[in-house]
Amino acid sequence: MDFLPHTEEDDRAMLEAVGLESLADLFEGIPSDVRLDYPLGIPPALSEPELLDHLAALAGRFAADDSLCFAGGGVYDHHVPAAVRALASRAEFATSYTPYQPELSQGVLQALFEFQTAVCAIYGLEVANASLYDGAHSVVEAVNLALRTTGRARVVAGATVHPHYRQVLQTYTSALGVEVLTAPYDAAGTVDWTAVDMTGAGAVVAASPNVFGCLEDVGAATSAAHADGALAIVVSDPTSTGLLASPGELGADVAVGEGQGLGSPMAYGGPGVGLFATGLEHVRQVPGRIAGETVDADGLRSYVLTLQAREQHIRRARAASNVCTNQTLLAIAAGIHLCWLGPEGLRRLGEVCVTRTAYAARVLGRLPGCRIRFPGPHFKELTLETPIAADDLARRLAGRGFVIGPGLGRWFEDLSNCLLVAVTERRTTQQIDALGEALEKELAEG
Amino acid sequence: MDFLPHTEEDDRAMLEAVGLESLADLFEGIPSDVRLDYPLGIPPALSEPELLDHLAALAGRFAADDSLCFAGGGVYDHHVPAAVRALASRAEFATSYTPYQPELSQGVLQALFEFQTAVCAIYGLEVANASLYDGAHSVVEAVNLALRTTGRARVVAGATVHPHYRQVLQTYTSALGVEVLTAPYDAAGTVDWTAVDMTGAGAVVAASPNVFGCLEDVGAATSAAHADGALAIVVSDPTSTGLLASPGELGADVAVGEGQGLGSPMAYGGPGVGLFATGLEHVRQVPGRIAGETVDADGLRSYVLTLQAREQHIRRARAASNVCTNQTLLAIAAGIHLCWLGPEGLRRLGEVCVTRTAYAARVLGRLPGCRIRFPGPHFKELTLETPIAADDLARRLAGRGFVIGPGLGRWFEDLSNCLLVAVTERRTTQQIDALGEALEKELAEG
Amino acid sequence: MNGSPKDTPAPGRPLESSAGTRSSPRAVFPLIFEQSRAGRRAWSLPEPGVPNGDGSLDELVPKEYRRTSPPQLPEVSERDLVGHYTRLSQRNWAIDVGAYPLGSCTMKYNPKIAEEVAALKGFAGLHPLADDELVQGALELLATLEQALCTATGMARLTFQPAAGAQGELTGLLIMRAWHEARNDKRRRVIIPDSAHGTNPASVTLAGYQAQEVPSDRRGLVDLDALRDVLDEDVAGLMLTNPNTLGLFERDIQEIASAVHESGGLLYYDGANFNSIVGVVRPGDMGFDIVHMNLHKTFATPHGGGGPGSGPLAVSEKLERFLPAPVLAYDEVTQRWRWDEDRPDSIGRIHSFHGNFGINVRAYAYLRSLGPEGLRKVAEHAVLNANYLRALIGESFPTAYEGMCMHEFVSTAKGLKKHGVRAMDVAKRLIDFGYHPPTVYFPLVVEEALMIEPTETESKETIDGLAAALNEIAREAAEDPDILHAAPVTTPVRRPDEARAARNLRVRWHPE
Amino acid sequence: MNGSPKDTPAPGRPLESSAGTRSSPRAVFPLIFEQSRAGRRAWSLPEPGVPNGDGSLDELVPKEYRRTSPPQLPEVSERDLVGHYTRLSQRNWAIDVGAYPLGSCTMKYNPKIAEEVAALKGFAGLHPLADDELVQGALELLATLEQALCTATGMARLTFQPAAGAQGELTGLLIMRAWHEARNDKRRRVIIPDSAHGTNPASVTLAGYQAQEVPSDRRGLVDLDALRDVLDEDVAGLMLTNPNTLGLFERDIQEIASAVHESGGLLYYDGANFNSIVGVVRPGDMGFDIVHMNLHKTFATPHGGGGPGSGPLAVSEKLERFLPAPVLAYDEVTQRWRWDEDRPDSIGRIHSFHGNFGINVRAYAYLRSLGPEGLRKVAEHAVLNANYLRALIGESFPTAYEGMCMHEFVSTAKGLKKHGVRAMDVAKRLIDFGYHPPTVYFPLVVEEALMIEPTETESKETIDGLAAALNEIAREAAEDPDILHAAPVTTPVRRPDEARAARNLRVRWHPE
Ligand SMILES: Cc1ncc(COP(=O)(O)O)c(C=O)c1O
Ligand SMILES: Cc1ncc(COP(=O)(O)O)c(C=O)c1O
């Protein structure tokens, strides 16, 4: 199925109208010696029922289809409310382009304006953009903003910031002569921000909850940063903001985070949505699109993309960022999800995560040879140390129907026996008990 | 979650406006001795994530989740095109009421008008209604139309008409002093309509393809019916009408059928959709709703429910039928599906069913002790006779991942070793081979 | 194609109608059939692809069985199909679009979670004739739902076969008949109130009975004396909805019940208005013997533009044996659910299979998300919303009968007649204010009836807005009635000519 | 609440806007935040419910970590949430609503089947850090898609990490840089045509290079001599989209390629316009070393109102080792796919995980449903549609450059200037005819540019209608330009004031 409407008669009539004989003539402008005279060597076409079978078979090879997901490390198995799924998948949202023509785009524009308002509310800041690619990209853009603003070229990032975010930051800044320093974590699995040397830093990046699931003293990070004239960037899990102090309250200049947990499935890590919020004083340095309110020719409240002069299609080589296509549809879903939750629901979400994670800590921490590596407080994730190499253990538990991990050895040599365990509102205490029993069996087998 | 918007403040303000103290006061009109003073003894409320888990667990108990469906007998595992599913589930269709206010219902009304047009096209008749409950209900209403029209009280139905349809006909007519005679089937698994005594019959009901999957000589049935002054009712599978002669062509006065195969999942047998079409001369006897074309105050083409004088809400005790709520949403899906298919696709659908069913006949028919009980021609279903009691065999094959049957013993004593095998466009030849191998194994075990 | 300015939608035509009608004047919305082009296709199906095939199609299906000319279905691309039905859907009102206060229809919010669970393969993918062993989850769901619904109605057992309320009515009346016949008691009449819904008398006729109407008294309730007058040994039973179609609770229900029972008849409860009493009072406790529910009303399943619904029919213990076969049975030994076909006294089968299972799954999801407290709150707030709205518009549109109403009420617009304004004009004008109109001209016993049921899922703000609009319309009617006669002005079409539709009958498209 | 007639939508406002705005004058569409009422809720979540709990919340999360005041999120019922966003969605154009001929955006039909398969639990439910063993199906899908895309572009390997085209550009430029550096070759400039898309220069800067523009010649193509003049050993490479942003094929591509290569630079292919040549000519065969694709354009994944997309970046063999880590590897022994992290020369990671996997699944579904022949037909009919439309409107809106175009073309409205009509006026007026406008004022090199890309999924009838509308608008411009200045008249809002939006900045709602 090629989804083309053209009948042979259409082809004939249209070719005639443009004065050509055959479809091949359309490509005469292309040097003949590079034109293909054979079909591409790609798999043959499948009819819709065949395609469905084929893809169901591939999807069916997910060896843990009815497994329970206790895996963490940046993407989480949160509940996607049916209403959010239904609304965000409305064809008018899903199959529309960037809202460059406001008269035909009030739906997307207002939904983005509402999303921005919700992000400002949870992060305690004044301006949010219409989304970036993912959590890592938000960190990168926040650092760029900070360095542009401070005119400095040094970044201090906590070792407890998601390692992938730090790697992406490294990649992005490599060409720009930026120095990225890492602040080590202490025995508590957090960075002692009072002890970090920040001389010359333009950007300081702290995360709470951090990669180990622990809450950090973000206030210490932001004041230390400010003391040295750096901007403070805080990585914050939006699902924690109903319960935990907002980055804004704690002095963050820029708050960023991964919004997947708000209305989007895990989808093997993408599409997710990068959240980005800051203070009004930085608005002209904000990357990406921003929906703004205005009035129309009749004085009627309306929404448009605003401050486009920041963006690549206007400022080109001097743009604040090169981002164009973003993650709008997931931003809309996240906005709807936050409105579905409201302040009470967001708080309840956090409460369930915290309490059940504590329960998991108790159940798992008392197993022979096991301990919760870092004391916490934890939000929805903890670091479990066992006598077994973490990646092996994760693989073995998968065999018992639990997706868990990752093992932290891949990121921290000294933690190769440590495993991340995430507990969202979807995980019940019974499921946690079951995980405990499965782990106990594995430990017994050694 | 009770889905109520009322805050305590709302309750207070609204009660005050109506001059009441408490919510309980609202029910003062109800004799106190029958009013409940305890909550209903029904299961407690579940939050959305809990509800999802609970229902996923129940659904998960479908012991054959990744099984292949070769089951027939009136409901079939046809492919539902993704576009049809997406369009029919649009909230504007799904959450709307009966289109009594045409200004706000042009979407549903036109979709029904298009559905009616498509049903007329496939059945070769002039007027179709906006759907009935299911195939059985369509047969009942067709018989009522025929008896009203002929003023007679006798029905002759082929034994090869789906037994459930005949049972429902029996139930519906029991109170009306209507006599329902059954015309036996012959060795070919079809009714020899030339040999049936139709004296005094007002309605004759024939099916093709019939309950055994065989095509019948519908023409013989309709002319015999007409010869005796009866109206001819033909039960026709809409998925067969791209390939097979339409009931209209063959002289049917009323064509009926189950439309589940067009755009609806099997859903354990419901909701499906009863199709109903007849000649214009009978339009005032047609049961249920009919969408009709007209013009609006500006002369603009529009659609309304028409000839409502036939219906219960106008004619009450003398209405053509008591039907009110019907199966509109599934009718819309069936209409969209027929437009997705078009004449070519509908023909292809039939071609695939016929050819693969023939392949299945060859693969299964040659197994030891097995035979295809009736010669056919078959459309998408066949009757397989084996040495094993059919219901046991079906159960055993289920264990091997095949949903098949039903055994025909439940309907025909003499066919207790016969099993229905249905082959839709979703079943591949490889799957048929696999069924053959599974069956061979079962036969070996005896 | 022409691009004349007439292409642009006339003022007030929604944008999408302009999107839909690039080609023809005055924004006529084309039919999918009019977009057909020979050779175009949306379909995508496999090749028959049978290894060393079994002979040609002609051998498999001899010509005499074959179609001679292809059916006149449209040939369109999937892109155009999707565009057409997407735009078409936008030309339709729906609960998800706005308020829908249609009396007697209970257009409440349909939870999205119900759609999601009904689509699970373990439900949507079940074959109705699959061995019971394979579908234990589905049977358990039905058994739990049956028990809960019987608890809520005060009945003993029920059948899920009826696809809608009207089919439930017929089922119940056939059971009524079977019960009398089992006692060799031939009776010929069934009593219904004059305000009864049309399906009641129609079902009575289908069940082989004569429908006899009893008048309502000045209270809008069944006239007890009139009822007693018509009750005799020829009366098989009484059909009643309580609260009745006027939204009033039949407070004499116990007297009514004993009167009917004394005369040897049975009491049938039409559950269309069950929403207003669920969790508050049970039909069984009022004396009803037979009850149908409209799960597409009280239990919030989407109405789908007119269906599907689900009309389970519940009965008291003494009528259990007459229920349609099969019924669910639990085998204590194997601890398995199964369908029990062995029901000698059953009235027989009423549906091709097990009724609208997919709808029952949705109703179950609704029931489980509310629980007992939630269900009672539903009734409380359905009644609160109705009485609140009634109070707000009482001066403009007085109710036909005094006193508190239940989940709905019937107002009259007859006061506007002197301005040449009819109830239908009020309904059409309400559309311009952004609300779906109430049910008009029903029940027939009320002149210029406006039958209004806000349902419990509408907020106070929505009801305040609806009331403000209705009061404003009453003012317009007095000051400038032509505004009402011209309404609606915001819809794709205005006042389609229904008489003409019946006169020049066009019930399908065919090329000119 | 007031129900004053101002509540009724002004003429031309779609019905749904009236549905959405019962309360405030002139059909202002309320924000969800304005519908908040304390104590209302849509959320439904379990109790923490931990047996013999682990101490209070205060013990688990000490106060110093806790929020002091709740976030100002709205409190609404699910019913009102659903109503709000359903009506809001109806205030938006989309492919599923109608034609969307935005130049350079390739707004073609997005197959529904792709949505269905992307939602399968075996794809949507995968955790990105799950052991490779668990996700072999997903890895095989990616591997097959990688191979097919490499075949289509003539490249050796690719990375799926880039979430969109711009991120692909940066990835490619960093690889370009790594390649030069590996050869101790310091270069500082990257050449781009003056017609290049804004992301090109922006990405060049991000990659630490200086962007240098080369002018187009009168043909609208890269000026070869001008290019040769700027090429030297300081030039790291050239970024080109071919066909270029004017919709013209760079016929000198081979000369361009050898010139760049001779100067020691690399050739970067911006795949945004790949739709017009897929299956016809391969970037690799034209001499390109680095290629990004916009799967949300050529491979028909839905654009989601601005994203998500997917911008896989493919390279020739000599650049393979620089690709972001990890890359897919196949273990012949275990016959398993795995992620290979051991890539010493890699430029590093560019995405949190594996890119927009869900979008790649959709692209795979599209690729598999078309196959090789289908893909070539896509290019053929994209180009046919563009040239056909160009021919139909040539007199009203001449193209800036002569000769055949590829999948899109750039017309100029400068002929209407004498009537005081600008390209934007034409765009706005086209809305009233039921079409989304083309891209306006881009590329900057064309005065009063209208950049039109019909895409291959639009039918001849649609293009005929679009042409008729454009020609009619040209006539209106001459006869009555004010019609254009007043346009659009069929939309919920008209010509929002963008200058004011930037002046009085309101980028979030807060209570007055
Ligand atoms: C009072 C009453 N009884 C019966 C019915 C018939 O129910 P259904 O439409 O489900 O057949 C209705 C439906 O509108 C009703 O309002
Ligand atoms: C020519 C060209 N290059 C690059 C891009 C950027 O791609 P994306 O928006 O996916 O980042 C676009 C998108 O509009 C484009 O048209």
Q: Say yes or no for a CB contact (<8 Å) between A51 and D117.
A: yes
Lowest model confidence (mean pLDDT) among B12-26, C1-15, C313-327 = C1-15
**Closest among A433, A434, A404, A431 to A420, alpha carbons compared:** A404
- Of residues C40, C45, C115, nearest to A49 (C-beta): C45
- Of residues A66, A81, A428, nearest to B60 (C-beta): A66
Say how many Å lie between the CA of residue D311 and the centre of ligand 2: 9
Nearest atom (ligand 1) to Cα of C104 = 16
DSSP 3-state of B364: helix
Nearest atom (ligand 1) to Cα of C167 = 11
Query: In a mutagenesis test of the A interface, which of C1, C32, C116, C366 is the best target, namely the one with the most A β-carbons within 10 Å?
Result: C116
Which residue in C has a C-alpha nearest to residue A6's C-alpha? C40
Dihedrals φ, ψ of B44, to 5°? -70, 165
Q: What is the largest CA-CA distance in chain C?
A: 82
A345 and chain B in contact, CB less than 8 A: no
Residues of chain A found within 8 Å of residue C115, distances taken between Cβ atoms: 82, 86
Dihedrals φ, ψ of A392, to 5°? -60, -45
**Closest among A345, A354, B366, B234 to D76, alpha carbons compared:** A345
Say how many Å lie between the CA of residue B248 and the centre of ligand 2: 56
Q: Does the beta carbon of C270 sit less than 6 angstroms from any atom of ligand 1?
A: yes
Residue D52: predicted pLDDT: 61
pLDDT in tens, chain D (512 residues): 333 322 333 322 233 333 222 223 347 999 999 999 999 999 999 999 876 666 688 899 999 999 999 999 999 999 999 999 999 999 999 999 999 999 999 999 999 999 999 999 999 999 999 999 999 999 999 999 999 999 999 999 999 999 999 999 999 999 999 999 999 999 999 999 998 999 999 999 999 999 999 999 999 999 999 999 999 999 999 999 999 999 999 999 999 999 999 999 999 999 999 999 999 999 999 999 999 999 999 999 999 999 999 999 999 999 999 999 999 999 999 999 999 999 999 999 999 999 999 999 999 999 999 999 999 999 999 999 999 999 999 999 999 888 899 999 999 999 999 999 999 999 999 999 999 999 999 888 899 999 999 999 999 999 999 999 999 999 999 999 999 999 999 999 999 999 999 999 999 998 87
Q: What share of chain C is helix, strand, coil (3-state, %, to 5)?
A: 40, 10, 45
**Closest among D462, D296, D359, C41 to A2, alpha carbons compared:** C41
Residue D388: predicted pLDDT: 98
Residue A67: predicted pLDDT: 79
Residue C167: predicted pLDDT: 98
Average pLDDT over residues A272-289: 97
Percent of chain C with pLDDT over 90: 90
A18 and chain B in contact, CB less than 8 A: no
List, as ranges, residues 38-97 from A with C-beta within 8 Å of B.
Answer: 48-49, 52-53, 60, 66, 79, 81-82, 86, 90-91
- Of residues A48, A50, A86, nearest to C112 (C-beta): A86
**Closest among A397, A445, A387 to A421, alpha carbons compared:** A397
- Of residues D2, D22, D472, nearest to C3 (C-beta): D472
- Of residues D43, D116, D128, nearest to A268 (C-beta): D128
Residues of chain C found within 8 Å of residue A50, distances taken between Cβ atoms: 46
Residue C49: predicted pLDDT: 82
Query: In a mutagenesis test of the B interface, which of A61, A65, A79 is the best target, namely the one with the most B β-carbons within 10 Å?
Result: A79
Average pLDDT over residues A394-410: 95
pLDDT for B105-132, tens place per residue? 999 999 999 999 999 999 999 999 999 9
SS3 letters for C126-175? CCCCCCHHHHHHHHHHHHHHHHHHHHHHCCCEEECCCCCHHHHHHHHHHH
Residue C26 pLDDT level (bands cut at 50, 70, 90)? very low
Query: What one-character-per-residue DSSP string does B144-191 give?
Result: HHHHHHHT--EEEEETTS-HHHHHHHHHHHHTTT-EEEEEPP-TTSS-
pLDDT for C336-349, tens place per residue? 999 999 999 999 99
Min Cα–Cα distance to chain D from A98, Å: 4
D37 and chain B in contact, CB less than 8 A: yes
Which residue in C has a C-alpha nearest to residue A90's C-alpha? C86
Q: Does the beta carbon of C443 sit less than 6 angstroms from any atom of ligand 1?
A: no
Residues of chain D found within 8 Å of residue A272, distances taken between Cβ atoms: 352
**How far is CA D512 from each of CA D34, D508, D509, rounded to the nearest angstrom?**
11, 12, 9
Residue A64 pLDDT level (bands cut at 50, 70, 90)? low
Residue C16 pLDDT level (bands cut at 50, 70, 90)? very low
- Closest C-alpha residue for ligand 2 atom 8: D165
Q: How far apart are CA A320 and CA A318, in angstroms?
A: 7
Complex-level ipTM beyond the 0.95 threshold: yes
Which residue in A has a C-alpha nearest to residue B81's C-alpha? A48
Mutate to test the pocket of ligand 1, among B97, B325, B326 (most ligand atoms within 8 A of CB): B325
Residue C447: predicted pLDDT: 95
Average pLDDT over residues C153-178: 98
Residue D5: predicted pLDDT: 28
Which residue in A has a C-alpha nearest to residue C19's C-alpha? A104
Residue C264 has pLDDT above 70, yes or no: yes
Residue C1 has pLDDT above 80, yes or no: no
Residues of chain B found within 8 Å of residue C56, distances taken between Cβ atoms: none
Residue B64: predicted pLDDT: 57
Q: Say yes or no for a CB contact (<8 Å) between B82 and D86.
A: no
Residues of chain B found within 8 Å of residue D365, distances taken between Cβ atoms: none
Nearest atom (ligand 1) to Cα of C294 = 10
Residue C7 has pLDDT above 80, yes or no: no
CA angle B111, B113, B118 (to 5 degrees): 95
Q: Does residue A130 or residue D1 have the better pLDDT?
A: A130
Average pLDDT over residues A50-69: 85
Tell me the ligand closest to D166's alpha carbon: 2
Q: Does the beta carbon of C311 sit less than 6 angstroms from any atom of ligand 1?
A: yes
Q: How far apart are CA B348 and CA B417, in angstroms?
A: 33
Residue B40 pLDDT level (bands cut at 50, 70, 90)? very high
Percent of chain C with pLDDT over 70: 94
Among all chains, which residue has been given the structure tokens 């970036």? A132
Residue D27: predicted pLDDT: 76
Query: In a mutagenesis test of the B interface, which of D35, D37, D44 is the best target, namely the one with the most B β-carbons within 10 Å?
Result: D44
Tell me the ligand closest to D407's alpha carbon: 2
Average pLDDT over residues C69-75: 97
C495 and chain A in contact, CB less than 8 A: no
- Closest C-alpha residue for ligand 2 atom 10: D165
Which residue in C has a C-alpha nearest to residue D42's C-alpha? C111
Percent of chain B with pLDDT over 90: 96
B17 and chain A in contact, CB less than 8 A: no
pLDDT for B259-315, tens place per residue? 999 999 999 999 999 999 999 999 999 999 999 999 999 999 999 999 998 888 888
Tell me the ligand closest to C172's alpha carbon: 1
pLDDT for C391-448, tens place per residue? 999 999 999 888 899 999 999 999 999 999 999 999 999 999 999 999 999 888 899 9
Q: Does the beta carbon of C294 sit less than 6 angstroms from any atom of ligand 1?
A: yes
Burial class (CB in 10 A: 0-12, 13-18, 19+), D292: buried
Burial class (CB in 10 A: 0-12, 13-18, 19+), A388: buried
Q: Say yes or no for a CB contact (<8 Å) between D22 and C82.
A: no
Q: Does the beta carbon of C197 sit less than 6 angstroms from any atom of ligand 1?
A: yes
**Closest among B20, B357, B107 to B214, alpha carbons compared:** B357
- Of residues C40, C76, C116, nearest to A82 (C-beta): C116
List, as ranges, residues 219-258 from C with C-beta within 8 Å of B.
Answer: 248-249, 251, 253-254
Evaluate the CA torsion angle D427, D432, D433, D435 in order and state its sign: positive
Residue A275 has pLDDT above 90, yes or no: yes
Q: Say yes or no for a CB contact (<8 Å) between B340 and C90.
A: no
- CB neighbours of D224 closer than 8 A, spacing ≥ 6? D217, D252, D255, D256, D259
Mutate to test the pocket of ligand 1, among C160, C170, C197, C240 (most ligand atoms within 8 A of CB): C197
Average pLDDT over residues C201-209: 97
Lowest model confidence (mean pLDDT) among A63-77, B224-238, D183-197 = A63-77
Residue A284: predicted pLDDT: 96
Contact B72, B420 (CB under 8 A): yes
